[in-house]
């Protein structure tokens, strides 16, 4: 049995799935629930403590108090402003080390991992706790992309590869070779909604969601779930292409049923 696990819980379903996995396997765990992010119903019946995102000093103290050996970050986290963050001294020192160019998502998360592991706590990915959670290569349901969709997927992957160097986004919407939108700080849900108003006549577009090249996937692996399927269908998109082995699929059985019912595809693609 591995050592005690800390689940740093943000929003969405993933923290619940990790808690259930720990319970099923008998693994000892503790939850650090992020205020304003995590769902209270998910953590109220398990060992936990609520913490502000800007209270890193208290967070590290809890890891020591609870005898934590491994840590997993799970769930959506809305990036706060510095005013909302109200950083403690530990966070201010961390930002000072990063310098003025330290606020790209991947660089920031790598620095967070270094800070945590510097305290003697190993950071792991959610897929290491739930290995069956990641997408496989090929179609997940009965709907498959046609040639036009395949071209749009290739175009989307090329765009995301180009954007990896500047550390922007994990998703893009492409329709008939035209890039309708690229994910930035607003997130995938807002990207889909925004592109709904930009779609062209003819065959619908494709959402392409991939980890950036060289991305630190232990703490920021792309994730989709049944709600993503519903949003894609409502926006008139024909399907979703995701990175095989590098994308988390929440509630996969429900996700596949929703995709089949809506007539949209979910397709895992291996990055060459």
CATH number, domain at 52? 3.40.50.20
Tokens representing 12? 């969405």
Domain shared by 75 and 17, yes or no: yes
Last residue of a domain, one of 86, 111, 129: 129
E-assigned strands of 110-262? 122-124, 138-139, 171-175, 178-182, 206-209, 223-224, 239-243, 248-249
Task: Find out whether 191 and 131 touch, Cβ atoms under 8 Å.
Answer: no
Domain shared by 112 and 153, yes or no: no
Between helix 89-98 and helix 105-117 the angle, nearest 10°, is 120
pLDDT band at 237 (very low <50, low <70, confident <90, very high): very high
pLDDT surpassing 80 at residue 271: no
Q: Which domain holds residue 123?
A: 5-129
Domain shared by 142 and 225, yes or no: yes
Last residue of a domain, one of 129, 163, 186: 129
Here the CATH number for the domain that contains residue 232 is 3.40.140.80
pLDDT surpassing 60 at residue 103: no
Domain shared by 152 and 231, yes or no: yes
For 48-60, what is each residue's pLDDT tens digit? 999 999 999 999 9
For 176-208, what is each residue's pLDDT tens digit? 999 999 998 788 999 999 999 999 999 999 999
pLDDT surpassing 80 at residue 90: yes
Domain shared by 91 and 215, yes or no: no
- The domain total for the chain is 2
pLDDT surpassing 90 at residue 33: yes
Domain shared by 100 and 67, yes or no: yes
Domain shared by 235 and 144, yes or no: yes
Domain shared by 102 and 210, yes or no: no
Domain shared by 187 and 257, yes or no: yes
- Give 108 or 87, the one with higher predicted confidence: 87
* pTM score above 0.75: yes
Domain shared by 109 and 138, yes or no: no
Domain shared by 111 and 20, yes or no: yes
Domain shared by 16 and 70, yes or no: yes
Highest mean pLDDT among 79-83, 146-150, 163-167: 146-150
Last residue of a domain, one of 129, 151, 186: 129
Rg (CA), the chain: 19
């Amino acid at each position: 049995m591995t050592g005690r696990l800390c689940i740093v819980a943000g929003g969405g379903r993933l923290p619940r799935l990790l808690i259930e996995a720990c319970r099923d396997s008998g693994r000892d765990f503790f939850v650090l629930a992020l205020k304003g992010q995590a769902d209270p119903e998910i953590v109220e019946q398990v060992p936990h403590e609520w913490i502000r995102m800007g209270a890193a000093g208290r967070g590290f103290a809890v890891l020591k108090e609870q005898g934590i050996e491994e840590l997993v970050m799970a769930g959506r986290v809305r990036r706060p402003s510095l005013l909302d963050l109200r950083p403690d001294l530990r966070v201010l020192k961390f930002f000072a080390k990063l310098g003025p160019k330290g606020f790209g998502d991947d660089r920031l998360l790598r620095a967070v991992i270094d800070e945590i592991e510097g305290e003697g706590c190993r950071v792991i990915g959610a897929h290491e706790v739930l290995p069956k959670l990641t997408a496989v290569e090929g179609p997940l349901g009965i709907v498959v992309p046609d040639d036009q969709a395949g071209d749009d997927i290739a175009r989307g992957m090329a765009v995301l590869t180009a954007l990896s160097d500047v550390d922007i986004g994990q998703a893009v919407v492409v329709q008939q070779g035209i890039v309708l939108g690229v994910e930035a700080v607003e997130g995938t849900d807002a990207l889909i909604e925004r592109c709904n108003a930009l779609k062209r006549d003819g065959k619908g577009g494709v959402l392409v969601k991939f980890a950036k090249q060289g991305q630190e996937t232990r703490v920021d692996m792309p994730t989709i779930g049944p709600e993503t399927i519903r949003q894609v269908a409502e926006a008139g998109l024909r399907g979703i292409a995701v990175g095989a082995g590098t994308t988390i699929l929440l509630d996969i059985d429900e996700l596949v049923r929703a995709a089949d019912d809506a007539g949209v595809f979910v397709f895992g693609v291996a990055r060459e």
